[in-house]
């Protein structure tokens, strides 16, 4: 019998089912880490499969754009996993954040804050590009700009970890530490500081150096056995079940239910009308 309370006022229209078959999500997303087009995934999540991209031909390793999920207006920030070419003709690896894609994502996130549009992050990220060329291109400046925008964003943020979620990429794509309203994982998610193979080799080097310092002789057979043990332990800890057990994610969800979880998350957020003013501090543009 209580009267209706004020709402935050996020835009919603009559919902439409995706025009493309949602069940195809199971086949679109590879289990072996092969490249795929994240736009195909987005078109099976948004209403009527309509997705309007922001700066489509710039910063292609992050896809940004507007759509609706169960009627709710959303801004989507997603990692592109296929190999793309920059405007200069340079090859860019999918899942890696480059300076141009970080710059694009930062601007899009700020636009959504100004327009009061909730944000949805689809994570399949291996980290930021490193090296002298990327540093000369401004990866530090643009990466910091993106992290600043994500950290200070005041609209609801809902994060779905669909694949990899490694290192600083986890933070930049609104990981748990950056306070999303809700964070979910698909069963295919992997959450860690770095990939299993690379991490295991680093840990192996440390372990071998420690054993050699104690005067032990490490044969190739022992080294392989040690590597397999470390990799097995590390792979277990990257599992979404390991993350969910420690409340790093709120739930592990069926990919086909992604729309419902996003919709209910925005609906819950809409019942909290109090939003802080957007304050980003100093931006290096």
Domain annotation covers residue 184: yes
Q: What is the pLDDT of residue 280?
A: 82
Residues 94 and 201 in one domain: no
- On whether the CB atoms of residues 75 and 108 are closer than 8 A, the answer is yes
Domain annotation covers residue 14: no
The helix/strand/coil state of 274 is coil
Residues 160 and 128 in one domain: yes
- On whether the CB atoms of residues 204 and 227 are closer than 8 A, the answer is yes
* Statement: residue 102 has pLDDT above 90: yes
Residues 96 and 165 in one domain: yes
* Statement: residue 219 has pLDDT above 80: no
Give 60 or 230, the one with higher predicted confidence.
Answer: 60
Residue range of the domain that includes 232: 195-238
Residues 229 and 257 in one domain: no
Q: Summarize pLDDT for 128-169 with one digit per residue, the tens.
A: 888 888 887 878 889 999 999 999 999 999 999 999 898 889
Residues 118 and 224 in one domain: no
- CATH number, domain containing residue 181: 3.90.226.10
The tokens for 86 are 């920059």
User: Per mean pLDDT, which of 33-42, 107-116, 230-239 is the most reliable?
Assistant: 107-116
Q: Which of 91-100, 249-258, 262-271 has the lowest mean pLDDT?
A: 91-100
Q: Summarize pLDDT for 60-71 with one digit per residue, the tens.
A: 999 999 999 999
The tokens for 184 are 């979910």
Quote the number of domains for the chain: 2
Residues 80 and 120 in one domain: yes
Instruction: State the pLDDT confidence band at 197, using cuts at 50, 70 and 90.
Output: low
Residues 202 and 171 in one domain: no
* Statement: residue 253 has pLDDT above 70: yes
* Statement: residue 233 has pLDDT above 80: no
Residues 99 and 137 in one domain: yes
Distances (CA, A) of 133 to 90, 127, 129, 130, 139: 12, 16, 9, 8, 9
Q: What is the pLDDT of residue 199?
A: 66
Q: What is the pLDDT of residue 3?
A: 87
Instruction: State the pLDDT confidence band at 200, using cuts at 50, 70 and 90.
Output: low
Residues 230 and 152 in one domain: no
The tokens for 68 are 């609706």
Instruction: State the pLDDT confidence band at 42, using cuts at 50, 70 and 90.
Output: very high
Q: How far apart are CA 7 and CA 160, in angstroms?
A: 25
* Statement: residue 170 has pLDDT above 70: yes
3-state helix, strand, coil in the chain (%, to 5): 40, 20, 40
Q: What percent of the chain has pLDDT over 90?
A: 58
Domain annotation covers residue 116: yes
Q: What is the pLDDT of residue 226?
A: 76
Q: What is the pLDDT of residue 285?
A: 64
Residues 82-96, mean pLDDT to the nearest whole number: 85
Give 120 or 192, the one with higher predicted confidence.
Answer: 120
Instruction: State the pLDDT confidence band at 114, using cuts at 50, 70 and 90.
Output: very high
Q: What is the pLDDT of residue 198?
A: 66
Domain annotation covers residue 150: yes
Q: What is the mean pLDDT of the chain?
A: 88
Q: What is the pLDDT of residue 68?
A: 96
Residues 170 and 202 in one domain: no
Give the DSSP per-residue string, 56-105: TTSSTTEEEEEEEETTEEEEEEEE--S-EE-TTS-EE-TTEE-HHHHHHH
* Statement: residue 196 has pLDDT above 70: no
Residues 154 and 210 in one domain: no
Domain annotation covers residue 261: yes
Domain annotation covers residue 283: no
Domain annotation covers residue 285: no
Give the DSSP per-residue string, 12-28: B------SS-GGGHHHH
Residues 168 and 76 in one domain: yes
Give 193 or 150, the one with higher predicted confidence.
Answer: 150
Q: What percent of the chain has pLDDT over 70?
A: 96
Domain annotation covers residue 280: no
């Amino acid at each position: 019998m209580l009267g209706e309370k004020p709402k935050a006022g996020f835009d919603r229209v009559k919902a439409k089912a995706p025009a493309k078959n949602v069940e195809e999500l199971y086949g679109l997303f590879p289990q072996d880490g092969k490249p795929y087009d994240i736009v195909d995934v987005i078109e099976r999540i948004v209403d009527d499969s309509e997705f309007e991209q922001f700066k489509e031909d710039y910063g292609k390793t992050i896809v940004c754009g507007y759509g609706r999920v169960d009627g709710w207006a959303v801004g989507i920030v997603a990692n592109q996993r296929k190999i793309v070419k920059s405007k200069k003709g340079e090859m860019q690896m999918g899942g890696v954040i480059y300076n141009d894609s970080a710059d694009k994502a930062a601007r899009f996130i700020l636009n959504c804050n100004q327009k009061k549009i909730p944000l949805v992050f689809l994570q399949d990220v291996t980290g930021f590009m490193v090296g002298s060329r990327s540093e000369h291109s401004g990866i530090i400046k643009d990466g910091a700009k993106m992290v600043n925008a994500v950290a200070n964003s005041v609209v609801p943020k809902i994060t779905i970890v669909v694949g990899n979620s490694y290192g600083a990429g986890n933070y930049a794509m609104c990981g748990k530490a950056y306070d999303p309203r809700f964070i979910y994982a698909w069963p295919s998610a992997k959450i860690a500081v770095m990939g299993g193979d690379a991490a295991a080799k680093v840990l192996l080097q440390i372990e071998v150096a420690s054993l050699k310092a104690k005067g032990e002789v490490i044969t190739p057979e022992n080294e392989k056995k040690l590597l397999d043990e470390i990799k097995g332990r590390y792979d277990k800890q990257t599992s979404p079940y390991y993350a969910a057990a420690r409340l790093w994610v709120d739930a592990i969800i069926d990919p086909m239910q992604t729309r419902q979880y996003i919709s209910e998350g925005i609906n819950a957020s809409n019942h909290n009308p109090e939003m802080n003013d957007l304050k980003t501090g100093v931006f290096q543009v």
